[in-house]
Structure 1
């Protein structure tokens, strides 16, 4: 266990500089977005009401109250989230291929460490998972701060206040990032962890069999996806509306566990028996 934790710490330290840059961009961009969005709205309000062309009630009837949801839909707010998501998706591949194509073929040193090789796989998967959770935690800390800043800038007569839970639920494109219950958290992030393991297994297949491995890896990913969604496919085709919602949920939970377990088993086999350095 201690060697596994050391590997996790090592992998986190390798990405920490880029990670801090992503955090910095997110903080600066979103706070800037609050200032810009609030000032733009207040500028329009001032122009329309102080010029005498509209009363405050007429302005609010035409333009509506401002809420933090308006800030959260701006590019300043969603842009850094997209950047972080794309960066971590790329890093899912980079975390492995860097070790093969980097200086001195570092994968050789990793796989020769006095620990089970599967720990390398698990440490990299844990690293991706922790990086994702770290960015989610950052966002959950930032939103109340940004909401307070928004309320400080926009007078109460011109705004609609929203609790943090309503703000996160209003981010429809990022609903998967902010589960509304512990059950949703386990489901969404359990699927995410499964997906990471499937991608890692496909990478190891490619590294084990090279050109043929590319095709086999893609086929493995497609087969894993098919197996996971098999209950839903059966529910909508052959066994149309046969399962109750809870039964369908349990079946998908089972298929998800099977896919996750299969990925770890196949990766363990490849790392110990087939991998090329």
Structure 2
């Protein structure tokens, strides 16, 4: 366990500077978005009310009040989230290929450490998962701060206040920040499963090169089929036989099977097919 934790700490340290940059971009861009969108709304209100002499009630009826929803649906808010997601998806591949193609093929040193090779796999997967949780935590802390700045800038008569709960209920944020523990386990369990499947596909490629690419694609497709198989059976074979809770349990079982299978296959590839 101690060696595994050291590997996790090592992997987190290798990406830490870029990780801090992602956090800084998220904070600065989203706060700037609140300021820019609020100023734009207030400028519009000033022009309509004080220059064109439109009554405040008419302005509010025509343009509506300012709320955090207008910030959330803008590129100022969604852009940094998309950037962080793209960066972490890219890092899922970089975390392995950097070790193979970097200076002195560092992967050989990692795999020759006096610890189980599977610990290298688990440490890399854990570091990705922890970085995702870290970014989500930053976003959760940032929401009330940004909402408060909006309240400072826009007079009460011209805004509609939203609670953090109402904000996180919005489409993509509900996926990233689930409202219940069960939703959290489902969403991030699927995310962790996706990481292990991609890691296994990468190890297939590293073990068998060109043939490994096809094996990796085939394995990923099989994993998807396993995950959706209860839904397909429910829809086309049993005609809605399972209750929703039973279907959920089946899906959880399928996710566990795929994660366990990915870890087992990756352990086999690391020990039997990848030579150092």
Structure 2 unpaired stretches of 5+: none
For 2:174, the equivalent position in structure 1 comes to 175
SS in structure 1 of the partner of residue 237 of structure 2: coil
Deviation at 1:32, TM superposition (A): 0.6
Aligned pair count reads: 276
Q: Give the equivalent residue in structure 2 for 1:18.
A: 18
Question: TM-score by structure 1 length?
Answer: 0.98
Q: Is 1:207–1:276's contact at 8 Å kept on the other side of the alignment? A: no
Q: Secondary structure at the match of 2:255?
A: helix
* Aligned-partner Cα distance in 2 for 1:275–1:132: 29
Tell me the secondary structure at the aligned position of residue 103 of structure 2.
coil
Deviations 1:28-82 (A, max 9, x none): 1111101100000000001111125311110000001110111111111110100
- TM-superposed CA distance for 1:160, in Å, is 0.4
Q: Which residue in the other structure is 1:41 paired with?
A: 41
2:143 and 2:24 map into 1 onto residues whose CA distance is 15
Three-state SS of the structure 2 residue aligned to 1:237 is helix
Partner of 1:275 in structure 2? 274
- Tell which deviates more after alignment, 207-216 or 173-182: 173-182
Over the residues paired in the alignment, what is the CA RMSD in angstroms? 0.8
Q: How does 1:44-193 map to 2 (within 5 A)?
A: 44-170=44-170, 172-193=171-192
Structure 1: state its 5+ residue gaps.
Answer: none
Query: C-alpha separation between the residues in 2 aligned to 1:193 and 1:64?
Result: 42
* TM-score, normalised by the number of residues in structure 2: 0.98
SS at match of 2:213: helix
Once residues 149 and 158 of structure 1 are traced to their aligned partners in structure 2, the CA distance between those partners, rounded to angstroms, is 14
In structure 2, distance between residues paired with 1:43 and 1:94: 45
